[in-house]
Amino acid sequence: MTESVFTLDPVPEIHLACAPLVKVLMQVQFSRTPELISDHAERRLAERLRRYPVRRHGTTLDVSVGLVPGLVQRAETPVRVFTEPTGAWQVSVTETSVALETATYDTRDDFCQRAREVLDAAASVALPPIVDRVGLRYVDRLQGEALARLHDYIEPPLRVLHGMVGADLEVEHSVSDTLIRLADDERLRVRSGLLPPGGSFDPVLPLASEPSWVLDLDVFTVRGGFPFDPERLDERLRRYAAHMYAFFRFATTDAFQEDFKAPAGAPSGGRLP
């Protein structure tokens, strides 16, 4: 039997009405632009981001590794947060980044359109000179009955040690971490594995109250230095989303697509990366 191989070839989209997608996150990091977090900037951003009328202030912890071995620097950075009334969608703006995240992802086009609105809003208030990093991340989770069918749903390389120990043993935690070079300046990080209740391998990952299997896909740049151009950034994010969907289809089986797809007659392009 010939094993499937992951490539970046375009993959036909299948609408998944009940895809186990628990978080989608876009972030663009850039050179310091303190004008983005002034009170005046917040008012202007709020005018442009009317989908997200709830406004909050806060701080976020930035952690960086210094030039001296073993030296880790931690600093609290002000953040302006804009959310929907339900809290399902959130925009975060600091002096060095802008991010969009949701736990109620609908379609790729919808997410990318929202991301473009956020990028346009930031550029209209205070255009960052240089982009340092662009990242797009999707997190899927199987638990309960879906976890019991992991061998039916997920290709062997992504299952880690599930089902590979004796009947009197139990795998509580088993995670694989892979970095794939997509281009000179772009990487795909794939983390998948089994987690116990409340287990996590990253603060971004929502916690679950029962055992689960997680597929965490993160496409990002490893070299910045290009302009903050919303149109070009939109093109990049859409390309990253296509790359992740190609891997998602590589990782999941026909049985997975069949069980989670939309009912007959539903519109295409739904809950998928």
pLDDT, averaged per 10 consecutive residues of the chain (273 residues), comes to: 78 82 95 95 97 90 49 71 96 97 91 98 96 96 92 90 70 88 96 91 87 95 95 97 95 92 48 51
Rounded to two decimals, the pTM is 0.87
Burial (CB < 10 A; 0-12, 13-18, 19+), residue 271, is: buried
Residue 159 identity: R
Give a yes or no: residue 265 inside a domain: no
Number of domains in the chain: 1
Instruction: Give the distance, in angstroms, between the CA of residue 84 and the centroid of all CA atoms in the same chain.
Output: 19
Give a yes or no: residue 273 inside a domain: no
Per-residue model confidence (pLDDT) at position 273: 55
Give a yes or no: residue 127 inside a domain: yes
Per-residue model confidence (pLDDT) at position 62: 58
Per-residue model confidence (pLDDT) at position 265: 44
**Cβ-Cβ contacts under 8 Å for 30 (sequence gap 6 or more):** 96, 97, 98, 128, 129, 130, 131, 132, 224, 228
CA distance 212 to 22: 12
Give a yes or no: residue 243 inside a domain: yes
CA distance 117 to 125: 13
Residue-number span of the structural domain to which 55 is assigned: 21-260
Instruction: Give the distance, in angstroms, between the CA of residue 258 and the centroid of all CA atoms in the same chain.
Output: 24
Give a yes or no: residue 116 inside a domain: yes
Give a yes or no: residue 104 inside a domain: yes
Give a yes or no: residue 109 inside a domain: yes
Phi then psi for residue 204, to 5 deg, are: -70, -25
Count CA within 13 A, CB hemisphere, residue 174. Answer: 13
Give a yes or no: residue 267 inside a domain: no
